[in-house]
Structure formats: C-alpha cells, structure tokens
Structure 1
Amino acid sequence: MSLTDRTIFITGSGGVLGSTYVRRMLAEGARVVATDLPGHRAEALQAAHEGNANFRFYTLDVGEEAQVEEIFQRVITDGWEPNVVLNNAAITGEMLMGAGKSFPDFCDTTVADFERTLHTNLTGAFMIARQMDRDIVGRYPATLINVASMYALNGAHHPIYDGMPFKNFSAYGVSKAGIHGLTVWLAGYWAPRKATVNTIAPGAVFNGHSDEFQRRVGELIMAGRMAKPDEIADAMLFLCSAQAGYITGQLLNVDGGFSAW
C-alpha cells in the first residue's frame, strides 16, 4: 500500500505502537512528522531514522495548549503540510504511577491522577483537532485518526490483573471512550470541508508481558493471543491511505475478536 502522497503527523510517536507506525509509514513512502515528549523514547526514535529525508521530529507535549497552538504552523513553515494526523499520545496507568510505585485501587485513585490522564488523553486530542481545524482542515482534503483502545467501549476484565504489578486504570478507559465521541462529532462537522475522522481501537498489544498475563488475556480473545504491534499498524496504514477515503465516523476494532465476544 503506497503512502507516497501522505504527510503524516503523529503524536506520542516514541511508544511501542507509535514507533511502529513511524517505521511502517516511512517504509510505505510517507513523509512522517513525529512528535513526543523529550526523553529516551524521543532520542531512540530520532536515532532510528536519522538521515531519512522523509522523517522529521518535533518535541511536543499535547497537554500544553501553547505548544499545540504553534505546532502545525511550525511544521508548515518548515515546508511540510500534514494531510493525515494521528492522535496517538496517551497516558496509561503504568506510565502515570511510574516505576516502583504501587498501583492504587479505584478507591485510592486521586482526582489529580484521574484529571491528568483525561487532560492528556482526551483534552490533548481535542486541542490537536482544534488546531487542525484552524490550520489544516479546508485547505486540502485531510484525515484525522483518533487512537482509542479495546477498553473504549468494553468493560475491563478485572480478574486478569489479579496479582499483576499493574491494574486497569479507570481514567484510561473513560478517556478512550471520549475519544470516539470526539470522532463522531468531528466527522459530521468536517464533512463539508472534505475531511474524514475515524477511530482505531487496538486490542491487547504484547510489550514484554509475562506468560501468565498473556495466557489470561488470550482466553478473552478469539484469536487466542495478544497482538503484535505490526498487526495494529497494518490497519492504521489502511486508514491513512487514499483507499479509506469513503470511511468516516467509524470505530475500527483491531482486537483479535475481543469485542465480538
């Protein structure tokens, strides 16, 4: 699938899925504008694609309104005009708690942690979309893809987390449900300006999980296993392509059948 006519802007590019999207999109000929917080993930991503003329990296915190308000103009001024945007940046419960900290029960979840998660995952996605509206939508046909989760419209199976060092974090699922609400609202609002908006909901993606956790999750999935990052990227590449031009306002579950059971 060729993406040579695509300039793709991605938030949260340094994670396991974000970095896979970058690699695969570059391989298909897209120009990729990758963004993330400063740190080791950003450094590794830049090192991996150093020297690729189709790759650019910008530091961006999607929770900081001032940074979001200037990002597209910076990119456009540098000669790159994104026609596809991926709202991929997100805080997970594991990231929020940090290494070595105990994971709180629901009753011990602080308002600050809940609101911080919503601010990055949902308000950040809103701010990126709002800036698309100001700087991109209507200038040329454009696509927005919002990244949700298998837990956006499905309840978590809490017993699979028993005895694990992490749990399913309530604010994560809430924020990802809101992501699809943003999608369907924008899809109708932008349709007259030739912009499409869709949600992709990845399933459980393997990222060094224990054998026991893989077994528990696999029992909930028709495919019987967790996803490989490239399997999520396969669907993402289609949504980014011209072949998806008649698809808007939709949620695509890429979850091995989890949501169908």
Structure 2
Amino acid sequence: MSEQLKGRTVFITGSGGVLGSTYVRRMLTAGARVVSSDLPGHRADALKAAHEGNGNFRFYDLDVGDEAQVEGIFKRIMADGWEPNVVLNNAAITGELLMGAGKSFPDFANTSVADWEKTLRTNLTGAFMIARQMDRDIVGRYPAALINVASMYALNGPHHQIYEGMPFKSFSAYSTTKAGIHGLTLWLAGYWAKRQATVNTIAPGAVFNGHSDEFQRRVGELIMAGRMGAPDEIADVMLFLCSKEAGYMTGQLVNVDGGFSGW
C-alpha cells in the first residue's frame, strides 16, 4: 500500500460515479481515511458494497443541494470521530445524468428552467454550501484543503459537431457551473490563505465511460494525446492535489485533459 495520503482524511461528495468511485478506491489504497457521500440509490449501494468492512471507509447519504443536510454533514462526520482535512467538491449533475432520469436530451432552445436551476443548485450552489460549511466547521481549526472539480468545458467551449447523431449533447448548464466552480476557487483561495487552507480546481478532460467507438474517434481528434482518458489517470493527479506535497499550491486550475485545452 502506498502511503501518499497517510494522515489525510478525505471527504468526497458525489462519490458514486465513475470518477468519484475511482477517487475512493485510489485514496484508500494510498492510505487515506475516506468519507464518502452521495444520493441514496444504486450508485451509493455499489460503493458501500465495494468497501464493506474497510475500517478506513465511511459513507453518508447526502444531497449537496439540500441546505439542511449540508449544514449538518461535518458535525455528523466529526461526531463519529473523523476530522476531514481534505474536501472534494465532486458532486455534479450532467446532461447524461438527466437522461438517466428518463428524460430525452433537450437542445438549447428546449432546455427547461427547471433542469437549468437543478443543475446550478447541485453543481455550483452545492459546492458553495459545502465550502461555506467548511468555513464554519473546519477552516482555521487545522490545515485543510479544498479541491473543486470542474471540467475541460469550464474554460473551453465544446465542439458541438462531435455530438451530432449522438444520444447526448454538451449541456449548457453544466459548462456554466464548471466555469463558476473555478471562480469560487479563486475567491476562496485568497479568503482562506491566512487560515492554513488551500483551494484548487481540477479540470478533468474527456473520460471514457462506455462511449461508442465513433464518439471516441471524434473526441480523440481534438485531444493532443489522441484518445479519451481513463478514470485512474484523473485520479493520479487528484491524489497529488490531496497530498501534503501540494501544500504550496492554491488558487490554481489544473487541466488533466490529454492536451485538449492546449489547442
């Protein structure tokens, strides 16, 4: 077992997805204590089953869009004897997730205000509420780190043509919230600087998750590396950002996108 994260207690929101579950697995392997959270459902059940019996793993049901739940989460964790010193704002609604709720993917003209506001509530307001609760319960008590998870579409526009004929599209609310996430990072990095807390953003690129060969080809042509990334390749960088070795980094956006943002 690696000891890269020994002494770190990492709290991860939205940890049941392809990247979140990879972060959990890799951080446990790296010696961290991992406090995981997600909405109740099959993703949460699978995560709990995968790590059942691991004394370094805890799971809490959490809707980051619910203010009352967020206001109580760190108190619940600390009441159980755990003190998170690293927090990952990873919870997010994507267009694909909305489709998974049985909805067809809308074009921009038919995007509902309800879906737009639901996405903002989870992806951006939820991240704000988690950070605000860190400020109340953690920041200043001991050194801490916050990593906000953005996207390659945070500061780069999507190539809409690669989605033609695909069952999903790039979702305007998703890009908007991911740009806002880095704005939150920059604001907090300075605000917390004198209280021994760092804040950084990671911007994952296109991550393979069962995509068709044709979609992989289209995306690969836009990426210097020529392919989509694997979840573990994003986790490699996330582990560094969560480690003590990243202690002199704050206010930064780290692209892990195979060179997509370099063109």
1:114 aligned onto 2:116: yes
Q: 1:76 deviation in Å?
A: 0.4
**Aligned partner letter, 1:80:** W
Residue 99 (structure 1) shift: 5.3
125, 128, 131: which one aligns with 1:126: 128
- Unaligned ranges ≥5, structure 2: none
Give the alignment partner of residue 205 of structure 2, picking from 200, 203, 214: 203
Pairwise CA distance, 1:2: 1.5
Q: Deviations over 1:9-29 (max 9, x none)?
A: 000000000000000000011
* Counterpart Cα distance in 2 of 1:148 and 1:40: 24
Give the aligned partner of residue 51 of structure 1: 53
CA distance in 1 between partners of 2:247 and 2:26 (Å):
20
- What aligned pairs does 1:103-182 form with structure 2 within 5 A after superposition? 103-182=105-184
1:93 corresponds to which of 67, 92, 95 = 95
**What amino acid maps onto 1:160 in structure 2?**
I
Deviation of 1:97 (Å): 3.0
Tell me the equivalent position of 1:250: 252
Per-residue CA deviation, residues 25-62 of structure 1 (Å, 9 max, x unaligned), is 00011000000000000000000000101000000000
Q: Which runs of 4+ in 1 moved over 3 A?
A: none
Q: What displacement does 1:96 show?
A: 1.5
Opposite residue 165 of structure 2, the aligned amino acid is G
1:10 aligns with 2:12: yes
What is the CA–CA distance in structure 2 between the aligned matches of 1:36 and 1:49, rounded to whole Å? 15
**TM-score (normalised: structure 2):** 0.98
Q: Deviation of residue 100 (structure 1)?
A: 4.8
1:187 aligns with 2:186: no
Q: Deviations over 1:135-192 (max 9, x none)?
A: 0000000000000000000001000000000000000000000000000000000001
- Secondary structure at 2:11's aligned position in 1? strand
Shift of 1:109: 0.5
**Which residue identity does 1:249 align to in structure 2?**
G
Structure 2 residue matching 1:207: 3-state secondary structure: coil
Q: CA RMSD in A?
A: 0.7
> TM-score normalized by structure 1?
0.99
CA distance in 2, matches of 1:37, 1:8: 18
2:39 corresponds in structure 1 to 37
Q: 1:11 to 1:146 in 2, by over 3 A?
A: same
Deviations 1:103-141 (A, max 9, x none): 111001011111110110000000000000000000000
TM-superposed deviation, 1:5: 1.0
- Of 233, 237, 240, the residue aligned with 1:238 is 240
- Extract unaligned runs of 5+ from structure 1: none
- Superposed displacement of residue 101, structure 1: 3.2
Q: Percent identity?
A: 83
Q: Distance in 2 between matches of 1:159 and 1:197?
A: 34
Q: Residue type of the partner of 1:31?
A: R
Count the aligned residue pairs: 261
Superposed CA offset, 1:223-246 (max 9, x none): 000000000000000000000000
Q: Give me the whole-angstrom Cα distance separating, in 2, the residues matched to 1:44 and 1:159.
A: 35
